[in-house]
Structure 1
Amino acid sequence: MKLHELAHARSGDKGSTADISVIAYHPAHYPHLRTHLTPDRIRAHFPDLPPGPIDRYEIPSLHAFKFVLHGALDGGVTRSLRLDAHGKSLAACLLEMDVPAPFPASFPKD
């Protein structure tokens, strides 16, 4: 299944660093996403980005994660010739990542 079926996301930038926040639609899916949204999986999903480190921060009270992709924007808004120098499309691209479906019992009934 696609990540967008379990979560929504927002991305931003600070210089050459991009960040992507991923928020589970339902708290029951947060542990499942914790297992499958790793920096290695994020790196594999974005093979064409510069190879800087990726940090993951967990925010359990919001059922969310923040991924910080260091060096992903090739110098940032004022120095990059990339079409998406702010990295705003990264969230939408990440939501197309395939993740295993959670156990059916964890799907909310409401």
Structure 2
Amino acid sequence: MLFSKQSALYISCCMLSAVGLVLIIAGTATPKWTYSNITTAHETTWYSMGLWHNCIDGQCNVTKGAGPGEKISCQVLTITSAVSAFLCSILLFQHLVRQICSIPSPTCYLALAMVTGGSS
């Protein structure tokens, strides 16, 4: 069976990682929003969402209220998303190779050895 529960877990993980990365990349490419662009009525809401807002718009330490803690948290979120996506893609690839290689063949064993570092 090509798509097991484990496959579904890997795919879900990769999709979530990809969404996080896309949001962060899109945020750095879009025009920057600052608190001065937002009316006073909405400022409290934006302030409470400050960390997420700052990370998405890619200016972690530029908007009002974005202190060193938020900047660090934003960097951690970015790095975590990138590492998660990278590791998840490797795990998914290994899993798919194992599933496809359920029919033994020399080429498959070579591919499996390459992606697993020699362990099966």
TM-score (norm 1): 0.21
Q: Looking at both structures, which has the greater relative contact order when contacts are Cα pairs under 8 Å and sequence separation is at least 6?
A: 1
Bigger radius of gyration = 2
As a proportion of its length, which structure holds more helix?
2
